[in-house]
Every structure is written in C-alpha cells, then in structure tokens.
Structure 1
Amino acid sequence: MAPSSSPSSRPAARAALPGDKLAFRLGLAATLAVAAFLIGPVVLSVLAGLTSNYFVGLSSGLTLRWVAQVWDLYASTIWRSLLVAAMTLAVCLLAGVPAAWALTLKRGRVARAFEELLTLPVAVPGLATALALIVSWGTAGGLRGSVMFIVIGHVLFTLPFMVRSAAASMAMGGLAALDEAAATLGAARLHRFLHIVVPNAAPGILTGALTVLTLSVGEFNLTWLLHTPLTQTLPVGLADSYASMRLEVASAYTLVFLLMLMPLLLGLQWLAARATGERRASPKDSP
C-alpha cells in the first residue's frame, strides 16, 4: 500500500506554484518579445504599402493604389519567380530523391566525398557561385539570357537541402531493410523505389520540397548576378523597387511577395503534416 502524502508536504507543493507562474510569465514575455521583433517589421512594412502616405501614417488613409502599381510594373517578375521555383523543385525531386536513396544504401568514403561536394554551393557565397557559372557557361548559346541559367544556379543552391532532408527520412524509416526484403521477393528496383521508398520517405521529401520552394522564391544573391533585364525575378524586382521607387511601392511589393509565398508554404506544410500522420498511423492499422 502506497504511503499517503503527509500534510507537511502540501504547503511545500503550494509554495512552488508562484515560482511556476513566474517562470511561465517570463517564458511568455520572452516569446512575445521575440515574436514582436520578428513579425513587427513585416507588419509595419505591409501597413506602409497600404497607406496613402507612409510619412503621414494611417491618418492619410488606406489604399490599394500601390499594390496595383506594383502589379502593373512587376507582375512578370512574380510569375517568373514561381516558374523558376517550380522548375527548380522538379529538378531537385528528380535528381535529389534518387541521390538521397543512393547515399542511404552506399555509406563509404565515396558517398561522404559526394555529400561534401554536394554541399559546397551552400558554403560558398552565392556571388562566387554565380561568377563561376557565368565564367563556365555564360557563353554557351543563349543560356546566359534565359531563365534556365537562373534555374541552374537555384538547383546548385537548393539540391543539398532536398538530399539531406530525404536521406534523413529514409535512414530513420529503416527502408534499407524493407527494400532488401522486397528484393528477395522478386520486386524490381524501380518498383521498390516508387512503391516502398518514396511513400515511406514522403515526410522528408515534402519537407525538402518546402525548403527548396522557399529558398528558390526568395533567393537574391545568385539571382542578382545571373539575371538580365528580361529575366528579373521577384526578389530582384523588390530590391529594384526599394532603390528606385517610393517607400510605399516597395512596401506594397513586400506585401505581394508575402501573398504569393504564404499559400505555397501553408500548402506544403499541410501535406507534410498529413504524410507524417499517415505514416505514424499505418503500423497501428496493419494486422
């Protein structure tokens, strides 16, 4: 029979409550301070893009004139950025997921050397990578003035994130053993990859896709050196608007940037959460 708590221990427990409340309040205050520090500038920038005159403030009235002006001047950069991000994601999926599976199966010096080489564009400054691309491929046909030149730079920068995310999911899921078991039953390599590896590694693949899209849409360093006046993307247009337009126009451009990016982020996060939930529930549902 478990001994009952003595009355003398209850006041000590009650005395600990004020300390817990203090710790909770301090944590809440720190969280709110960090949130205000991160979100506050974004909110102020959005408000600046919706006010008639930023220097007068909200008393000058709210308007969508600056947003309409941004759309008239820079609509092509928005669609081009989405196109570049979609093409970058497609290449990263087609190249990164098989590469992640190969690195999961083959662990050795060659695999480690390839992995280190793959992450090199992330460690090197974006301007240096862009200069290397211009020197190497800048004179190859019409590549220098095409969107594909920017896509190549974005793939070099974002592919390591796709490979790392997918490889981590594959390693944690024990897919190598499942693949070997399916191989002993006569399943073809491509069939095993598409029906065993990809579905079980879907959370990591979707996380990598989210990272690739986010980085591609917002990438500036590489793009600033690789773009031409006819291949300007959204971040480059944003910098141009801040340099040559009124502050209200530049802030409205930031608002358009957020409106284009947030649905992508929320949609991919929902897909990743759903894939993770299905993966956790599948062992319970199996007989």
Structure 2
Amino acid sequence: MRDRVTFSLQFLFTLLVAAFLAVPAGLSIAAGVTVNYFRGIQSGVTLQWVVQVWELYADTIVASILIALGTLAVTLVVGVPAAYALFVRGGRLARLAEEIITLPLAIPGLAIALALLLTYGGFGSFRRSWLFILAGHVIFTMPFMVRSVMAVFATIDVRSLDEGAASVGASPWRRFVDVIIPNAAPGILAGSLMVVTLSLGEFNLTWMLHTPLTKTLPVGLADSYASMRLEVASAYTLIFFVMIIPLLMAMQWIGEKGSSR
C-alpha cells in the first residue's frame, strides 16, 4: 500500500512538471495558428501567420539549416578522427587535448563569440560571411561529437579490432573506414543529431556573431518577438518546433537503442 502511494505521488509530481514545461509551448503553438490570440481559439484557426513567417524569415530558416549541415560536416571530418586518435593514443597529452576540445562546454557562448570577434573580426569578408558563424558553431558543438564517439569506443575493444585488421594487411585508412567507423556508428549518429540540434537552436553565440545579412533561425525568432505581432512570433516558434522535435525524438530513440544494446 505504501509503495502504491509513493508511486502515485511520484507520478503526479512528474505530470505536474511535464505540464509546467509543456503548457507554455502548447499555448505558444496555439497562438501561431489562431486568427487573434487575444480573442482565443474562437476567433478561428489559420495558417496565415505561418505563411507570413516564411515570407519574412525564410532566409533565416534556410541559413540555419545550411549552417547546421555545414557544422555537421566539419565535426564529422574532424571530430571522429580526433576521437579515435585521442582514445587510441591515451596518455597525458591526449587527455590535455581532450580537455581543450571540451573547454567550450564550460565557457559561455557570448565569451566564445567575443574571443572570435577579437581574433578574426578584422578579416572583413570572413566577418561578414556565414562562415564566421559556422566557425563558432563548430567550436561550440565539437565536444559533443568527440564525446559521443569516445563513449562508444569505451564500450568496444578498439585496439583489438585495429590490430586484427592490420594483421591481414589492411592499411590505416582502410582499417579506419571499414572497421572503426562501422563500430562507432551509434556514437557518430548520436553525435550528429546532437550537433544539428544544438546548431539549429544556438542563440547566444550566433547573436554576437551575426550581421543583418547572416541572421539564423533563433536570431530571427528573437527579432520577430521584438518587432512583429505575437501571432507571427508564435508561428515562428511553431516552425522551430517542427524542425527540432523530430531530432530530439531521434536522439531519444538512439539513446534507448544504445541502452538496450
């Protein structure tokens, strides 16, 4: 009896926390498809605000997608080999390099952006291009890719796999592509989803680095809340949720599959 009461209280508390988090998001989504938010749902349902967001801010949405994909490409090309090298080499130097790579996790995004501005702000064309934001996103998301891949390496005998492939004459490149990467696929996929999700939603760092011609989705979202009707801003939030929620669900699914394995 006591266990049932405890479970019921815990379940009720969980529902209250979930409602506390979900209700504001639900109200924001509802506002984005309501003709007049202040009159409520009885004013009618419409997609005109979503269409208006696309007309006004389509460039920011496309820019965010391109930057997220570019960030993913760089973190894959650099992060996966780096994780492999750090795990195989080991030692103090490898641990030091790992700490340097993961340092952005402990530094506010605004501080990283300020450091980039002080270092590279004088390069005019680079400063004004989307590549400047891409560089910031790579620095910010690289630790998540490296950590995800290294976590998978920790669960398998990488050295034995590598030595076994070498014993049959496989070159280092073939061993990495044909043996290491397939075994690290769950970590690579989880890291990839995390990188894309974080890049799409990153605001602090991007806000400092962007120019009027290089706005991303979160910056456009803040701009819409500051200067447009509430319905338009809420419709923008709806578009953001449509992009992010499938990625979050995929991350949850991968995490559950990894736990079951």
Q: Same fold (TM over 0.5)?
A: yes
Partner of 1:240: 223
> Partner of 2:154: helix, strand, or coil?
helix
Partner of 1:164: 147
Quick one: distance in 1 between partners of 2:24 and 2:203?
20
Between stretches 203-212 and 120-129, larger displacement belongs to: 120-129
Contact 2:110 2:208 in 1 (8 A): yes
The one of 18, 26, 30 equivalent to 1:35 is 18
Shift in Å at residue 252 of structure 1? 0.7
Given the alignment, which residue of 171, 176, 200 partners 1:217? 200
| Alignment partners' CA distance in 1, 2:151 and 2:179 | 16
Q: TM-score, normalised by structure 1?
A: 0.86
CA distance, structure 2, for counterparts of residue 165 and residue 254 of structure 1? 29
User: Partner of 2:200: helix, strand, or coil?
Assistant: helix
Q: Report if the CA contact (8 A) 2:31-2:235 is conserved.
A: yes
Q: Distance in 1 between matches of 2:224 and 2:88?
A: 48
| Structure 1 contact 50–64 (Cα < 8 Å) conserved | yes
Task: Measure the CA separation in 1 of the matches of 2:214 and 2:201.
Answer: 15
Structure of higher CA gyration radius? 1
Cα RMSD between the aligned structures?
A: 1.9
Determine the structure 1 residue equivalent to 2:65: 82
Q: Matches of residues 4-19 of structure 1 in structure 2 within 5 Å?
A: 18-19=1-2
* One-letter amino acid of the counterpart of residue 110, structure 1: L
1:57 aligns to 2:40 (yes or no): yes
Q: Which residue, out of 169, 187, 191, partners 1:186?
A: 169
Provide the rounded CA distance (Å) in 1 between the counterparts of 2:250 and 2:255.
Answer: 10
Q: Which runs of 5+ in 1 are unaligned?
A: 1-17, 281-287
- Give the aligned partner of residue 149 of structure 1: 132
Sequence identity percentage: 59
Q: How does 1:53-132 map to 2 (within 5 A)?
A: 53-132=36-115
Whole-angstrom CA distance in 1 between matches of 2:83 and 2:94: 10
Deviation at 1:231, TM superposition (A): 0.6
Q: Structure 2 residue aligned with 1:229, among 212, 230, 244?
A: 212
Going from structure 1 to structure 2, the CA distance change for 1:269 and 1:22 (only over 3 Å counts) comes to: closer
| Residue of structure 1 in register with 2:28 after alignment | 45
1:257 to 240, 251, 258: 240
| Residue identity opposite 2:203 in structure 1 | F
What's the offset of the Cα at 1:109?
1.1
Q: Tell me what 1:11 maps to.
A: none
Of stretches 119-128 and 165-174 in structure 1, the one that deviates more from structure 2 is 119-128
Range with greater deviation from structure 2 (254-263 or 207-216) = 254-263
Deviation larger for 178-187 or 222-231: 178-187
Contact 2:194 2:251 (8 Å CA) reproduced = no
- Shifted more, 66-75 versus 179-188: the winner is 179-188
Look up the SS of the partner of 1:63 in the other structure: coil
Matched, 1:174 2:137: no
Total equivalences in the alignment: 261
1:77: Cα distance to partner? 0.5
Instruction: Give the whole-Å Cα distance in 1 for the aligned partners of 2:124 and 2:80.
Output: 30
Q: Are the aligned partners of 1:203 and 1:273 in contact in 2 as well (CA < 8 Å)? A: no
